[in-house]
Structures are given as C-alpha cells and as structure tokens.
Amino acid sequence: MTFNDIFKSSFLESVSEFSIIDTILGLAVALVIGLFIFVIYKKTLTGVMYSTGFALTLVGLALVTTLVIMAVTSNVVLSLGMVGALSIVRFRTAIKEPVEIVFLFWSLAVGIVIGAGMIPLAIIGSVIIGLILLLFANRKIHSNPYILVLTLDNEEAEGNALGILEQSVEHFVVKSKTVNSTGIELTAELRTKNAATAFVNQIQSVSGVNNATLVSYNGEYMS
C-alpha cells in the first residue's frame, strides 16, 4: 500500500458535499437564538443562585445540535449511525429546577429546526416561547410560602406564639410537633401576602420562646 492509496479510501469518497455558506449561516443563527435563550434564562430565574455553566450550556447545545443535524440531513448512512451512537449517551447532570428542562429542550429543538433548514420557524418559535416565559415569570406572587420552626418551653408559650402567627399571616398549618423533656419543637407551614417577616421578632419576644427560625419554602417539605 502506497501513500496515495491511503487517501483513496472509501471513507473519503463517502464524504458528502456541504455548503460552507449554509453552515456558517446556520451556526450564526443558532448562536443568536442560543444567546436569546441565555438572556431569557437569566430574566426568568426565580432563585438566587445563578448557574453560569448551565447558561453557557444552552448556547453550546444549540450550536452542537445544529451541526449534528446538518451532518445527519446530508448523509443517510451517517444518520443511521448517529442514532446508534446517541442511544448510548447518558446525561447524569442533576436538574436543580424543573424549568431548566424546558430550556434544555428549547435549545435542542432550536438546533434540530435550524439544522433542518427551517430558520424562520426557529426564530418565530423562539420569540413566542421567550415572550410566554417572560410573561409568566414576571407575574407577581400573591403569597410567599415559608416554614417556621419554633422551640418552646411550655404550652402557654405555644398558644401565645400561634396567636401572633394567626393574626400576622394569611394562612398557616402545623406540619409537625415534637414534645420532650426539654420543651416543644413546632414546625409550621405559612404564607404571607407581602413577604413581611416582622412577626418572627414578635414571636421571639414572647416569654417561653427560645428560638424562632423562618425558612423560605420552595414546595418540597422535608420531614
């Protein structure tokens, strides 16, 4: 086998032709929409902790998916091999917020649509999705959920603390109560209308209340 025979392999002959202009255009549009998804993710972030790595993943995912779909649509044999290759891929990164799944699928869908050549659909669809997410994310929450943990000496202190709680919050329900030789530990789920937390200071000042802890409640109660 000579040096020239190496470059006459069937692999090189099976490489399909592709348009450089179409590739650059598709990746450029994917980059712009990916950055748009990046901005929407930052605007609709409900928590305090912002994940820069996840936000950059959204942009990279749109670009990579676009490139893969472009390759798949240009070669039928490659498309069959890609299905088998991607079937063994496993993503084990933990999703912190359920809404992050929406952004992941959004980036994937954008890459697939752009790679298939339907750029107007990707642009129009992304604008509509972004506006809907912004609309719902900017809606004001009428009540703020919290978990209140109280450490009390006796039943009298418990009654006085619950009396203040009933007058100060919109709604509350006792989730757990532990009684032992050292006193009472009470856990209550509550909602406030304007995120006011001054009632915790009032409860702490009640005689027999040793400790009052207020924790923001995200909907997952851990017993």
| Domain residue spans of the chain | 3-137, 144-216
Residue 75: is its pLDDT beyond 90? no
Cβ pair 175, 221 in contact under 8 A:
yes
Residue 79: is its pLDDT beyond 50? yes
Q: Let me know if domain 144-216 sits in CATH 3.30.70.520.
A: no
Report the distance separating Cα 190 and Cα 62, nearest Å.
41
* pLDDT band with cut points at 50, 70 and 90 for residue 110: very high
**What per-residue confidence (pLDDT) applies to 30?**
93
Residue 143: is its pLDDT beyond 90? no
Residue 154: is its pLDDT beyond 50? yes
Longest dimension (CA), the chain: 96
Q: What is the mean pLDDT of residues 93-119?
A: 83
* pLDDT band with cut points at 50, 70 and 90 for residue 216: confident
Q: What is the mean pLDDT of residues 205-220?
A: 79
* pLDDT band with cut points at 50, 70 and 90 for residue 101: confident
User: Three-state secondary structure along 28-51?
Assistant: HHHHHHHHHHHHHHHHCCCCCCCC
**What per-residue confidence (pLDDT) applies to 1?**
52
Q: What is the mean pLDDT of residues 90-112?
A: 78
Residue 59: is its pLDDT beyond 80? yes
**What per-residue confidence (pLDDT) applies to 7?**
47
Residue 70: is its pLDDT beyond 60? yes
Question: What's the predicted TM-score (pTM) here?
Answer: 0.62
Query: What are the residues whose beta carbons fall under 8 Å from the beta carbon of 25, sequence distance 6 or more?
Result: 119
**What per-residue confidence (pLDDT) applies to 34?**
92
Q: What is the mean pLDDT of residues 88-95?
A: 58
3-class SS of residue 193: coil
